[in-house]
Amino acid sequence: MRDHRIDWQLHRETAEGEGDQIALVIRYDIEPYVPAKINGPPEDCYPAEGGCVTDLEAFKAGTDEPVELSTEERDEIADWIERNHDHNEDRYGDPDAAYDAWRDERDTRDNYVDW
């Protein structure tokens, strides 16, 4: 899995009843998502799987200072990520990486000399 990150604004109430905004950077890992297959013969159909946040850490924006999240805050952030994460990006990978690998293999093959 890859390390993902998003910017997040967290609203917390102070003891005096006033609101406080905290800018955070959320780092997370997420399971690969496999969409459901619902057409065709029953033996070839299956429900959707994965797509759940597996590891979530919060840091104050611009620093490496960790921020403790309440269960409710953690659940809200994880729910938002699971609904908005681009799972296709994870499924297909980086197209530039595939090209770079092909180019490196070609260059190695073209520079090979058989003595």
Domain boundaries, given as residue ranges, for the chain: 4-110
Which of 12-21, 29-38, 55-64 has the highest mean predicted lDDT (pLDDT)?
Answer: 55-64
Output the pLDDT for position 60: 94
Interval 51-85: pLDDT, tens: 889 899 999 999 989 999 999 999 999 999 999 98
Amino acid present at 31:
E
Percent of the chain with pLDDT over 90: 31
The owner of tokens 């595939």 is 98
Q: Which two tokens stand for residue 53?
A: 């946040």
The whole-angstrom separation of Cα 1 and Cα 31 is: 7
* Residue with tokens 């003891």, as numbered in its chain: 15
Q: Which CATH architecture has domain 4-110?
A: 2-Layer Sandwich (3.30)
Q: Which residue carries 């797509």 as its tokens? A: 51
Please, which residues bridge with residue 53 across strands?
30
Least confident piece of the model among 1-5, 36-40, 56-60 = 1-5
Q: The pTM is what?
A: 0.66
